[in-house]
A and B are shown apart, each in its own frame.
Chain A
Amino acid sequence: MKNWKKNWAVYYFLLWAAIALFAPILANNSSQNLLIKPLIPYSQSGIDYNNSNSVSPFEYQQVKSIYYRHWLGTDKLGRDVLSQLIHGSRTAFIIGIGVVLIAGLIGIFLGGIAGYFGDNSVTLKKRQFIAAILLLPIYFVSITTVIPWNISSVGSFHKFALLFILSITYLLILFLIGKTVQQSKAKIQLPLDMIISRTIELIDAIPLLFLLVCLSAITKPSFGGTIIIIASVAWTSIAKYTRGEILKEKNENYIQSARALAFTDFQILRKHILPNALGPVLVSLSFGMAAAILLEASLSFLGMGIASEEASWGKLIASARNDYQAWWLAIFPGLAIFITVVASNKLSELFQNKN
């Protein structure tokens, strides 16, 4: 972390974040409404009728002054490529960060549980186990039918509050049953690691893009939907990585001694394992970001994912398929994706050598 100044990826990310944040100010066509004159006087979907039909960046352009020049050319409809590139970086940024946040939360949580507790450290007393098995169908029935999921006039807060109350009640009953039992024999191990690992394997077995495309067929095109779709498949690699890392840390001597000093599981996780495993987990997060950006671009390329009026690098490349002589439509967004992916990988080096 100390030598972050030497890593070019850091500067690239700062630049990227700034462009993403200020994209509506940097490139728009309503210059009179703003105090600052925009750098590029074209919006992402603004059509320049004088320069339609894919004008090359080096070709003669019919513009008022050099300020209005299309620096990276235009596409078939006459939209400015640079402006689309800038707004596309905003899309990529939102998707990348969103996926990393959601997939990271799920992945670190599940991977952490699987790695730390393993197959045999979470145990249930026999009576508790039987109660859990018996109550599970009742719990399942109550969360699916008693909660009015399909009633539109009931607010979603109400629904989730009911879900929360029911889940807490279920866990509380199990906890209380556990308290009534005195003998500590006859315990049943809960194979958490096995359950989580099998789930990950199942998801990984499906061809990734196939699953994504099928999922995007049933959701409406939007940022939120795309983030959730990508995150629902991207968490597995983060979970695998976290699990492996925590398994490694768990067997270190200092954890054994912490346990001998009667630290609780939570204390050990928070104070000892988490700080040590954080670096490698951040590595997997930055790889996850690269993967998310690539997947979003692939989806947009195929004409799915985000809404059609939003610009995206993938869409820009897709537009190059329609006129083959327009190399600038393919080269620039492709370079943007490529550099961002390489930078994400480079950024991971920052967390790898923690010394």
Chain B
Amino acid sequence: MSFLVFYLAQFSQQDQLLQREENSYRSQSSNTIQEWEASYAAAKELGFHEPSFYFSIYRKSSSDTLNRIQDERIRNVLTDLAYRTGNWEKINAFYTTIKDTLPLLNSKKQQALIQELRTFYLNEGKPSYFIQFPRIRTEFYSLLSISSTFNNYIPLFKWNGFTNQYHLWLGNILKGNFGTSLIDSTSVNEKINNAIYWTVLISFISLIITFSIAIPSAFYSSFNPESFLAKILDKLFFLFYAIPNFWVATLLILFFASGDYLGWFPTYGLGFVQDYYSTWQIMVLRIEHLVLPIIALSYGSIAFVYKQLKSSIEQELQKDYMLTARAKGLSSSAIKWRQLFKNACFPLITMLGGIIPALFSGSFIVEYIFSIPGMGKLTITSILSRDFSTIYILLLVATFFSMLGLLIADLLYYFADPRVQLSFENKEGK
């Protein structure tokens, strides 16, 4: 999992770098050399100048320390040149010459030189400006004179040791140090600590409400399938199942929270706690603010649990042990509550595993709409402000929690249902 998240994070390195530069180095960069130095400093701060993994594999015509060239367009031009000529040492000499020449020029000439290097292949590889400088010209033509493209097909392998980006990143996470935000330089730990409380609280309340509404209504409607209420429930929950939750949340705000229609509830946020509020007052304030979000979050899972549980009950009703129980002369309530209830509720445990990721996803939109400072809101704001270091940690944390949910569901299933065996137990038995 961490591989996946790290791999995703690699795609946004350039953006991360830009973001960091914008936030801390913008004012200083008046000319190109300073810009490059600032860029390198930013990269060093983020650890991007290290190799990305434990080992690197690269073409013989290329280099393993390419990621130290921070300007993406120049990096592309250089790899392109290297692919054509197949000689990295010459390219390196060429690039060093350019870097050495730069400080001798005034800033206008610097700009022109770098601009030409960046757009080298848009001009079909024909230099016009930098052949004016004799040193660069000699390097460039000696570069073109040698062509050993065979080097393109020789892969080289290099062991990078433990000072690589992945090792440092994962090590920090395992130590519980999630790094700092790119935007406001606060610690990501702190951000997540503040946010996770609300998400867990809302998800937990929503889970309780879901089960306490869905279970009785599923049992009622499968025991009395012909009744009027059961038909209404069926239709209602089918509707719930198909309505997108961001629409419901928007409508709830529109009609129950805004001043134009029914202003029963506050529109968004969690309310502002004054110093003199008693615990009771704080609770009332919070509940007032959380009613609409929890409705928006729960209705979908209520419909889901209702549907699944009902089909499970109907399956159980047709099994042989029901007939046996009836033949033994057990009263109908004894059959229902002592025999059927237990068996029909096993799928609920499995569903618990599936509902937890769904609640996380759902809380995402609901928190965004109602401005609740939870994990979902944090993710959206991080993404909209392109705060990558926070985003990938959040993805990792959310995945971890969902997996934890699945594991707990599996374990609960194991303890609740004696028929389930773990795979190693099964082998021992045989």
List A residues at the B interface (Cβ < 8 Å): 141-142, 144-146, 148, 150-154, 202, 204-211, 213-215, 217-218, 290, 294, 297-298, 301-304, 314, 317, 320-321, 324-325, 327, 330-331, 334, 337-338, 341-342, 345
Contact = CB atoms under 8 A, between A and B. Distances in A.
Interface in B368-405: 368-369, 379-380, 383-384, 386, 388, 391-392, 394-395, 398-399, 402-403
B80 interface: yes
Interface centre among A152, A211, A213, A304 (most CB of B within 10 A): A213
Interface of B: 1, 8, 11-12, 57-59, 76, 79-80, 83-84, 121, 152-153, 155, 157, 242-244, 246-247, 250-251, 253-255, 257-260, 267, 357-358, 360-361, 364-365, 368-369, 379-380, 383-384, 386, 388, 391-392, 394-395, 398-399, 402-403, 406
Nearest to A327: B254
19 contacts: A141-B155, A148-B83, A151-B79, A207-B364, A209-B361, A210-B361, A210-B395, A214-B392, A217-B383, A217-B391, A301-B246, A301-B365, A321-B253, A321-B369, A324-B253, A324-B254, A337-B247, A342-B242, A345-B242
B377 to A, nearest CB: 11
B361 A214 contact: no
A114 to B, nearest CB: 19
Contact of B250 (A207, A303, A320): A320
A254 B403 CA distance: 41
Contact of B364 (A205, A210, A325, A338): A210
A207 B80 CA distance: 39
Given A217-B383, A298-B246, A321-B250, A152 B80 contact: yes
SS class, residues of chain A in contact with chain B: helix
B80 A214 contact: no
B246 A297 contact: yes
Contacts, number: 135
Contacts of A208: 357-358, 361
Nearest to B241: A345
Q: Is the interface of B mostly helix, strand, loop or mixed?
A: helix
A146 B62 CA distance: 11
Interface centre among A144, A303, A334 (most CB of B within 10 A): A334
A148 to B, nearest CB: 6
Given A330-B254, A341-B244, A302 B365 contact: yes
A104 to B, nearest CB: 21
Contact of B58 (A145, A207, A301): A145
